[in-house]
Amino acid sequence: MNNRALAFIFCTATLDVLALGIVVQVMPVLLLGFAAGNTSSAAEMLVLFASVWGLMQFLSSPILGALSDRFGRRPVILLSCLGLSMDHVFMALAPTIELLLVGRVISGITSATISTARAYVADVSAPEQRARAFGFIGMSFGIGFVLGPAIGGFLGDVDPRLPFWVSAAASLANAFFGWFVLPESLPPERRMAFSWKRANPVGALRLLLSQRELPSLATIHFLITLVQQVLPAVFVLYTAHRYGWDGRTIGLTLVALGLGSALVQGVLVGPIVDRLGPRLTLIVGLLSGGVGMAIYALAPSGPWFWLGVPGLVLWGMSSPALQQMMTRQVSASQQGQLQGANNSLRSLSALAGPAVFGGLFAWSLHPLPGAPFLLAAFLLAVAVVVAWLLIARRSVTNSEVEAP
C-alpha cells in the first residue's frame, strides 16, 4: 500500500470520527435553541437524532459495501467524502429542526464510508499483516475521539454553526486529496455483481453465518461494539456522581483513554499480533478490557478509577486482531460486504447500547452506580469464552490462506 493512499484512508477515517465528535458537542446547543431553551424537549430531540443516525448507518453500510464490491472502493469512498462535505454545509444552513434532521439522515449515510475504507485496507494488505493495518485505521478513532469534541466545543463557542463549516471544508479538501492519490484497490476481475439480496442489512448479516468461524467472530464483534457504548452513555454522569469530578478531570481522563488507545492500535498491535498471533491477542485484549471495566465499576475513589485506564487502553488491540481474523474468512470480492455487515452490527450496538447502559445506570444509581461497567465486564468475559472455546487455533495461524 503506498504511503499517500494510506494517509488518505487514515484522513478519511479520522474525519468521519471527528465529524461525529463535533456534532455530539454542538448538536445539543442547536437543539436547545430550536426548543426555545426547553431542556426536556431538547433531550427528546437529541435521542431522536441519534437514533435516526444509527438507523441510517445500519441500512446504508451494507449497501455501500456491496457497491464497493461491484464498482470498486475508490468511487464509493470519494463520493462519500464529497457527500459528507455537502451534508455539513446543508446542516450549517438548515433553518428548521426538520431540515436539520434531514441533514442527520444524510450524514448517517455518508459516514458509513468507514466500512469501505476498511475493505480497502483488506484489499491491499497481506492477510497476516491486516491487524497492523486495521490498527493504524483504528488509531484514527482514538485521535478523533480526543479532537472531535475539543474542536466542536472551541468552534461552537464562536458560533454553533461554525463547526459544520470547518468539517465541510476538511471533508472537501480530503476528497480532492483522494482524487489525486488514491488508486483503486479492487481490480475488475475480483469484483462481484451487485445484488439487493446481499446489500440489504438482513442479507448482509447472512454473510456472517456463511463460514464456520464467522458466527463466533461476529458475536465477539457485536459484544465489543456494544460494550464500547458504555463510555458515551454513562462515563460523564458516573464519574461526576460518584467521584465529584469536574469537566476538566473528566476531559483529561478521556484524552488519556483516546491517546492511549491510538498508541496501542497504531504502534503496538502489529508487533503484538506478530508475536502472539491474532487469536491470543484478541483474548488478551478482551481480558484487559474486562479488568478495566471491573475496576471502573468497583473503584472507591478517583485514583483507584484511574488504575482501570491501562486495561481500557490495552483493550484497543482486540478489534484489529478480530478484523484480521474475520477478513480471512471471506474472499477478496466479499470484503466490502463483510465490512458493511460489520458496520451494521456496530450500528445496532449504537442503537441498543445507550438504552441498555443508560437505563441500567438510572435504575441502579443508588444501590450500585457502577452496574453498567460490571455489565460491560461480564459481556467482555462472555466474548473471552467464545474466543477461547469456539475459535480454533489452527484457523487463525499466519500460514492460513485467504478464503476462496
State pLDDT tens for residues 142-162.
777 677 777 777 788 788 888
Mean pLDDT of the chain: 83
Whether 194 maps to a domain, the answer reads no
- 233 and 168, same domain (yes or no): no
Choose among 69, 118, 143, 144: nearest CA to 323: 118
**Domain-embedded: residue 166:** yes
Could you say which of 149, 181, 213 is where a domain stops? 181
Q: Are the C-beta atoms of 55 and 344 separated by less than 8 Å?
A: no
Structural domain count, the chain: 2
* Alpha carbon distances (Å) from 385 to 64, 261, 286: 33, 24, 10
First to last CA, the chain: 22
Both 231 and 126 in one domain: the answer is no
The answer to whether position 198 is within a domain reads no
Residue ending a domain, among 118, 147, 181, is 181
Same domain, 216 and 177: no
Assigned domain for 302 exists = yes
Question: Each residue of 48-98: pLDDT tens digit?
Answer: 887 788 788 888 888 888 888 888 889 988 988 888 888 889 988 988 888
Rounded to an integer, the average pLDDT of 230-249 is 84
CA-based Rg of the chain, rounded to a whole angstrom?
20
Same-domain status, 162 and 278 = no
Query: Would 190 be classed as within a structural domain?
Result: no
Q: Are residues 266 and 384 in the same domain?
A: yes
Q: Are 173 and 216 part of one and the same domain?
A: no
Instruction: Output the pTM of the full model.
Output: 0.79
- Looking at the structure, do residues 165 and 292 belong to the same domain, yes or no? no
Comparing 69-73, 323-327, 358-362, 400-404, which segment has the lowest mean pLDDT? Answer: 400-404
| Same-domain check for residues 177 and 258 | no
| Alpha carbon distance 236, 146 (integer Å) | 15
Residue 75, CA atoms < 13 Å, CB-side half-sphere: 9
DSSP notation for 235-302: HHHHHHHHH---HHHHHHHHHHHHHHHHHIIIIIHHHHHHHH-HHHHHHHHHHHHHHHHHHHHH-SSH
Considering the domain architecture, whether residues 151 and 294 belong to the same structural domain is answered as no
Mean pLDDT of 235-262: 84
44 pLDDT above the threshold of 80: no
Cα dist. 153→82, 165, 197, 230 in Å?
A: 24, 14, 42, 22
Q: Which domain holds residue 390?
A: 204-404
On whether both 140 and 94 belong to a single domain, the answer is: yes
CATH number assigned to the domain comprising residue 7: 1.20.1250.20
Query: Same domain for 108 and 49?
Result: yes
Whether 195 maps to a domain, the answer reads: no
Kindly state whether residues 229 and 142 are assigned to the same domain.
no
Do the domain assignments include residue 199? no
Domain end, chosen from 129, 149, 181, is at: 181
**111-139, pLDDT tens digit by residue?**
767 778 888 888 887 777 788 878 877 78
User: What pLDDT is attached to residue 399?
Assistant: 38
Reported as a pLDDT band with limits 50, 70 and 90, residue 317 is very high
Q: What is the pLDDT of residue 374?
A: 96
The CA-based angle 387-391-394, given to 5 degrees, is 135
Residue 197: pLDDT over 80: no
**Residue 189 located in a structural domain:** no
